[in-house]
Structure 1
Amino acid sequence: MLPPFRPGTHLVFFALLLTLPSQALAVIDRDALDTAVVDAGELSRTHTLLVAVEGETVIDRGWRGHATDETANIKSLSKTLISALVGLAIERDIIEGVDQPVVELLGDRVPSDIDPQVNDITVGHLLSMQSGLQRTSGSNYAGWVASPNWVEDALTRPMVGEPGERMRYSTGNSHLLSAALTEASGRSTLALMRDWLGEPLGITIPAWTRDPQGIYFGGNEMGLTPQALLRIAELYRQQGKHDGEQLLTAEWIERSWAPRTRSVFNQDLYGYGWFRTELDDTTVHYGWGYGGQLLFVVPERNMTIVMTSDPTPPSNGSAYLEQVKAVVERMIAATVP
């Protein structure tokens, strides 16, 4: 039985019926959580913040004129959604699996003058940023998006490593996956996203940027509301289930979260579109977009967190991410399962 509420107490108790026969109990130090939320809002770029515990939204805040029901540019957090789409395509036999060479899926979109090693690049290599191709991000980004054919440009860049070697973060990898999904399914990435994620989750997915050939940008420039992102975070927290329906396999979620390499930018582990770190001695899985577009899933605390931030330069990169993670760690510490 829950203890009676007493005015002034800093502990708030939530008992929510889960799919298990028993009830799960979360204890939240509300004073500590609220203090961390205030500090999150004082970070230089913060626009919105959502925190849910056991599926119950306990924080819904906006700053600088922004709200959680307004569409935000989620930047490279889009890569986390592309990863989900690949998993759904594998489940539907549109893609054979993560070991399938991407050239098999791209068909006529593959130029004739590629390096022979490109034939060894698999779907999994692209998901984990281990293609071996020269990056299209960073200083190469502007030239890549100015090219007349993004797929061809990405595939004909020099091989600077072996497929499966260390992580080289590149949005071109994610865009190749968007092109592969389009070619293999005969449908646009937008149509797949709306059909497989948007409609089942009850979220709106607006059209976003396309390349010169009409392929939706894989891994950047998607627009979603923070509330929609929270539903995606909850889908992963609940091992692919939404309203009792299995939308995404638990196996794919575990494979996506499994560490395969490490980021040279923030030293965190990386799987299929997901980073992994430890905060408050707890494993945290997160997606990260330029400027501070972030989605955190903390399974041990039955907790999900979404933050959106100013998407315009300068972003302060990993330094700003560390500031956010420090505040998020305090939010996690304020919640005890």
Structure 2
Amino acid sequence: MRQLLFWGLLIWCGVSSAAFDERTRADIAERAGELARTHTLLVAVEGETVIERGYRDYRTDETVNIKSLSKTWIATLVGAAIDRGVIESVDQPVTELLADRVPANVDPRVREITVGQLLSMQSGLERTSGGNYGAWVASDNWVADALRRPFVGEPGGRMLYSTGNSHLLSAALTQTTGRSTLALMRDWLGEPLGIDIPPWTRDPQGIYFGGNEMGLAPTALLAFAEMIRRGGRVDGEQVITEDWIEASWQHRTNSVYTGHAYGYGWFTTELAGVTAHYGRGYGGQLLFVVPDKDLSVVITSDPTPPSSGSYFQQQAAIVEKIIRAI
């Protein structure tokens, strides 16, 4: 009878014993550490950090390069700008925000590209990622170079994953507010989350790189994930509106690599029978939010090449194991 009462109390409290079982946590942490590139693993369930591990002499509180996971942060910053009326809406043409940063000799269709199309990687412009990345970052003006790229699709059409899209958004925020993306990030996200946001790479015009090379501690990533999981709230303060989070998770296109749905800076898939939203960076930088399980997961990894495209599947299997344990 006592045992039945004990299990009933756990269910009533909404807490899964498996998620807090030491053996289960140790097994998950060990499996994550067995992956070749893992640096840290953090897991929070119902707001409580139940796993916090560093591997290969890496700590959870030291700054790491989160690579393209920074696109999720830039997208959230755009949401904060819309919340504040700095950007009218996702339907606003980005050229209105970039003003005189737009070169005179661009394709007229550039004027049709909206903020939302940049967020969802549907600008139609030739990618500045992949094989085009090196030449783009070697150019003397990243904004102008991205806008001068030829159209290989229509605005609003298929997904063309491109870091240039995110960088245009960083430039738009800087141009419109007169403040650096770093200052905005610290003010609108860092301060309410209580996290440190160090300076990161800037382009030749001094615009902070929108979509790559951003440095954050894994603990800061977890704080961000938990804010998103709580509907944009931190200690009663609404940092990002719940409407924006829902809009970010809405299926707008699909990744050509995984087939997973993509919204505004977030991928969405199904793991262990539940919906999981995630941001992802090169080499295995991952942030998962699983609302149905009140779960947030952060994994950081070796950000240097080479990195197998299949590595994500190994990491996703760890997250799936965590979901099943709850």
Distance in 2 (alpha carbons) for counterparts of 1:223 and 1:4: 48
8 Å contact kept, 1:33–1:330: no
Within-5 A mapping of 1:294-313 = 294-313=286-305
Distance in 2 (alpha carbons) for counterparts of 1:72 and 1:3: 45
SS of the aligned residue for 1:221 comes to: coil
Shift of 1:35: 1.7
Alignment match of 1:324 (pick from 303, 315, 320): 315
Distance in 2 (alpha carbons) for counterparts of 1:181 and 1:24: 41
| Cα RMSD (Å) | 1.9
Structure 1 unpaired stretches of 5+: 16-21
8 Å contact kept, 1:36–1:328: no
Alignment match of 2:32 (pick from 40, 44, 49): 40
SS of the aligned residue for 1:161 comes to: coil
Structure 2 unpaired stretches of 5+: none
Within-5 A mapping of 1:80-91 = 80-91=72-83
Q: Which residue of 1 aligns with 2:247?
A: 255
Distance in 1 (alpha carbons) for counterparts of 2:281 and 2:31: 20
Q: Which residue of 2 aligns with 1:94?
A: 86
Alignment match of 1:77 (pick from 62, 69, 73): 69
Alignment match of 2:123 (pick from 131, 152, 174): 131
Q: Does 1:334 align with 2:325?
A: yes
Q: Which residue of 2 aligns with 1:111?
A: 103
What is the percent sequence identity of the aligned residues? 65
Distance in 1 (alpha carbons) for counterparts of 2:244 and 2:135: 34
Distance in 1 (alpha carbons) for counterparts of 2:164 and 2:202: 13
Shift of 1:327: 1.3
Q: What letter corresponds to residue 311 of structure 2 in structure 1?
A: Y
Q: Which residue of 1 aligns with 2:198?
A: 206
Shift of 1:315: 1.4
Q: Which residue of 1 aligns with 2:217?
A: 225
8 Å contact kept, 1:47–1:308: yes
8 Å contact kept, 1:32–1:330: no
Distance in 2 (alpha carbons) for counterparts of 1:25 and 1:97: 39
Alignment match of 1:65 (pick from 50, 57, 61): 57
8 Å contact kept, 1:50–1:305: yes
Q: What letter corresponds to residue 61 of structure 2 in structure 1?
A: D
Q: Does 1:292 align with 2:254?
A: no
Shift of 1:332: 0.8
Shift of 1:14: 6.9
Q: Which residue of 1 aligns with 2:164?
A: 172
Distance in 2 (alpha carbons) for counterparts of 1:210 and 1:70: 21
Shift of 1:4: 9.5
Shift of 1:28: 2.2
8 Å contact kept, 2:268–2:276: yes
Question: Larger strand proportion, structure 1 or 2?
Answer: 1
Q: Which residue of 2 aligns with 1:188?
A: 180
Distance in 1 (alpha carbons) for counterparts of 2:38 and 2:175: 38
Deviations 1:225-276 (A, max 9, x none): 0000000000100000000111110000000011100000111110000000
8 Å contact kept, 1:293–1:309: yes
Could you tell which deviates more after superposition, 29-38 or 320-329?
Answer: 29-38
Shift of 1:126: 0.3
SS of the aligned residue for 1:25 comes to: coil
Q: Which residue of 2 aligns with 1:19?
A: none
Q: What letter corresponds to residue 27 of structure 1 in structure 2?
A: S
Distance change in 2, residues 1:313/1:113 (3 Å): same
Q: Does 1:28 align with 2:14?
A: no
Shift of 1:24: 3.5
Distance in 1 (alpha carbons) for counterparts of 2:193 and 2:206: 26
8 Å contact kept, 2:94–2:172: yes
Q: Taking structure 1 as the reference length, what is the TM-score of the superposition?
A: 0.92
8 Å contact kept, 2:74–2:166: yes
8 Å contact kept, 2:40–2:299: yes
SS of the aligned residue for 2:16 comes to: strand
8 Å contact kept, 1:26–1:53: no
Deviations 1:194-252 (A, max 9, x none): 00111111100000000000000000011000000000000100000000111110000
Deviations 1:73-117 (A, max 9, x none): 000000000011000000111100000000000000000111111
SS of the aligned residue for 2:62 comes to: coil
Shift of 1:34: 2.9
Within-5 A mapping of 1:137-148 = 137-148=129-140
Q: What letter corresponds to residue 334 of structure 1 in structure 2?
A: A
Q: Taking structure 2 as the reference length, what is the TM-score of the superposition?
A: 0.96
Distance change in 2, residues 1:23/1:4 (3 Å): closer
Q: Does 1:49 align with 2:45?
A: no
- Deviating 4+ runs (over 2 angstroms): 2-6, 22-34
8 Å contact kept, 1:147–1:153: yes
